[in-house]
A and B are shown apart, each in its own frame.
Chain A
Amino acid sequence: GAGVSQTPSNKVTEKGKYVELRCDPISGHTALYWYRQSLGQGPEFLIYFQGTGAADDSGLPNDRFFAVRPEGSVSTLKIQRTERGDSAVYLCASSYNRQGGTDTQYFGPGTRLTVL
């Protein structure tokens, strides 16, 4: 079946601009995660959705970052007033997240964001 997909695969923008990154999870997965991976580092957690609601947004670095998942499927990560330090690969993952379980998170290919 189809895996997690992310669009665009690459995004180049100028400092101060607004960007949206899209994630399409595996069908039937209720949990969706966003991570950010800087060069030479491991992915860092940003936000977690269970269904439509953001259950944990403790990893969002500041209020320029926001994410939504209005219908419990596709999610959009939104970054306002981008800064050069936002340049990274943004990864999305989804899982069944059955209660009490440790379901595997399946990752998408990522969106490489470059802020000039």
Chain B
Amino acid sequence: GDSVTQMEGPVTLSEEAFLTINCTYTATGYPSLFWYVQYPGEGLQLLLKATKADDKGSNKGFEATYRKETTSFHLEKGSVQVSDSAVYFCALMGGATNKLIFGTGTLLAVQP
């Protein structure tokens, strides 16, 4: 069945460092891809999404490009801030019911 694999954390970076969190997927058909973020003590929030191959989603300085050839949707940010510390989930939406299938999450800790 459909699945998402993302890099294990925690990822610890210094402020202003470059961030990459890897995400690959397995799916039948052409799923839509998402990154959700969970800040400490808060609920899941959509960070960005891409609905077809070669689309780039972007928000708050984060970007991810839907790569069909490598079945990947890696999350990147050029300069992280302490406020970016959170758990990041990669997800795909597939099937007729649009249910989300999540990866296990990656904890990002940004130190000042």
Contacts and interface: CB of A to CB of B under 8 A. Distances in A.
A44 interface: yes
A109 B91 contact: no
Contacts of B45: 107
B100 A56 contact: no
A21 interface: no
B43 A48 contact: no
Given A42-B89, A42-B91, A42-B105, A105 B43 contact: no
Nearest to A57: B97
A91 B99 CA distance: 13
B103 A42 contact: yes
A93 B96 CA distance: 17
Interface residues of B, number: 24
Nearest to B102: A42
Contacts of A43: 44, 89, 100, 102
A104 B104 contact: no
Nearest to A101: B98
A25 interface: no
Q: Please indicate which of the listed interface residues B4, B95, B96, B102 has the most CB atoms of chain A within 10 Å of its own CB.
A: B102
B44 A107 contact: yes
A42 B105 CA distance: 6
A31 B32 CA distance: 17
B7 interface: no
Given A35-B100, A48-B97, A95-B98, A102 B49 contact: yes
B102 A102 contact: no
Interface string A32-51: 01010000111111001010
Interface in A30-81: 31, 33, 35, 40-45, 48, 50, 55-56, 59
17 contacts: A33-B100, A40-B104, A42-B4, A42-B102, A42-B105, A45-B101, A56-B96, A91-B43, A93-B100, A95-B98, A102-B32, A104-B49, A105-B46, A105-B100, A107-B45, A108-B43, A109-B42
Minimum-distance CB pairs A-B, first 4: A42-B102, A107-B44, A56-B97, A102-B32
